[in-house]
Amino acid sequence: MATIDRQVTTLALAHALSAAERGLAVIPLSRTKLPALRSPHRAAPDSATPGCHGECGRFGHGVYDASTDPRRIRELFAAAPWASGYGIACGLPPHHLIGVDLDTKSGTDSTAALRELALRHLFTIPETVVVLTPSGGRHLWLRGPADAVVPNSAGRLAPGIDIRGAGGYLVGPGSRTEHGVYGTAPGTARLAPAPCPSALLRLLTPPPRTRRAAPGAAAGTTEQHGQGLVQFVLTAHAGQRNTRLFWAACRAYENGFGTDLADALTDAAVRTGLTYREARSTIASAARMTGRRGA
């Protein structure tokens, strides 16, 4: 059982409630920066609760437990009295938060890499919330548009730059971890997340979606679109399998054939190295994100 420090947990809860007042959905985190509450399905067979994201009514579904409701947040922390911090869910309204994580542990100058990207693609990072990490890194908070799904990625944009998007979370300022305390950079604590520059947003989102087939279009057109999405998943390398599967599933659901393509996408993802359960969970996340059911 994790050591319980009531004072630390109370302080983390206070910070989490403050974030929720700003429209940021939160969950309790442990000192390892992982969700403090374990899955209630961890001992169940794979087929027992496929892709449950909280529909069972219990806590322990990671970022899917995130809430801005003070009563629910207090219940989450009461269930995790060992929590020492909180996570802020990305991709949710009203901010549709995007986190740009400038790491220092990779041995690269991630700040210089971002500056080079900005010069090459003609964008400027606006004044926004900046969270300082215990290791010397920085998290930049940006606001995304409601109609864009930004996937999580690690090093895809540039070495040392990780992106936290839909289905991900950022460690909130005031959180205490094994390595120290997260805090906001001077002068940024009361800022709202600034809009993500359009040129940067284009770098963060996958290739343009396949257009929805027009009414009366040949059935083969939809089939070709589906085959293209499956192929997109099949060509994923390690580190991009979940991201590609999530993006492909989102496009399929948005174009009206997600349920029909779910099995083929699952098979493709399993062939790239994901487990069946991981693939179905990711597809269910895409269905949830796009407002569809039946994954």
Does residue 199 belong to any structural domain of this protein?
yes
Task: Specify whether the CB–CB gap between 146 and 93 falls below 8 A.
Answer: yes
| Domain endpoint, select from 89, 109, 124 | 89
Q: Can you read off the two tokens belonging to residue 238?
A: 């390690």
Non-local CB neighbours of 208 within 8 Å, separated by 6+ positions: none
Please list the rounded mean pLDDT of every run of 10 residues in the chain (295 residues). 80 97 96 93 57 78 93 96 97 94 82 92 96 96 91 87 93 96 96 96 72 47 74 77 81 86 90 86 80 48
CATH number for position 159: 3.30.2250.10
Report the interhelical angle of 258-272 vs 219-234 (nearest 10°).
Answer: 20
Do 55 and 9 fall within a single domain?
A: yes
Give a yes or no: residue 214 inside a domain.
Answer: no
Residue 84 and residue 122 in one domain? no
- Number of domains making up the chain: 3
210 located within any domain: no
Task: Say yes or no: 83 and 127 in one domain.
Answer: no
Q: Which of 35, 66, 89 is the last residue of a domain?
A: 89
Q: What is the pLDDT of residue 43?
A: 66
Q: Do 71 and 158 sit in the same domain of this protein?
A: no
| Residue pair 164/150 in contact by the 8 Å Cβ criterion | no
Q: Which domain holds residue 233?
A: 219-289
Same domain, 61 and 126: no
pLDDT at 294: 42
Burial-class residue 231 by CB neighbours within 10 Å (0-12, 13-18, 19+).
exposed
CA distances from 254 to 147, 148, 197, 286 (A): 11, 12, 24, 10
Q: How far apart are CA 6 and CA 1, in angstroms?
A: 15
Helix (H, G, I), strand (E, B) or coil at 141: strand
Predicted pLDDT of residue 249: 86
Do 134 and 158 share a domain, yes or no? yes
In-domain check, residue 176: yes
As given in the structure block, the two tokens for residue 276 are 């069946």
Look up residue 287 and give its two tokens: 């269905």
- Residue 209: its pLDDT value, please? 47
> What is the pLDDT, as a whole number, of residue 58?
87
**Residue 8 has which token pair?**
């630390």
Question: What count of Cα atoms within 13 Å lies in the side-chain half-sphere of residue 293?
Answer: 1
Sequence-distant (≥ 6) Cβ neighbours of residue 242 within 8 angstroms: 152, 274, 278, 282
Residues contacting 85, CB < 8 A, separation 6+: 12, 15, 28, 29, 30, 31, 33, 171, 172, 174, 175, 176, 177, 182
Looking at residue 48, what is its pLDDT?
Answer: 46
Residues 101 and 198 occupy one common structural domain: yes
Q: Is residue 132 part of a domain?
A: yes
- Domain co-membership, 226 together with 151: no
pLDDT at 214: 46
73 and 121 in one domain?
no
Spatial separation of the C-alpha atoms in residues 143 and 118, rounded to whole Å: 17
Cα separation, 42 vs 283, in Å, equals 19
Residue 73: CA atoms inside 13 Å, Cβ hemisphere, count?
Answer: 27
- What pLDDT is attached to residue 274? 83
Residue 5 inside a domain? The answer is yes
190 is a domain residue: yes
Of 169, 204, 239, the residue at which a domain comes to its end is 204
Pair (124, 183) in one structural domain: yes
3-state secondary structure of 197: coil
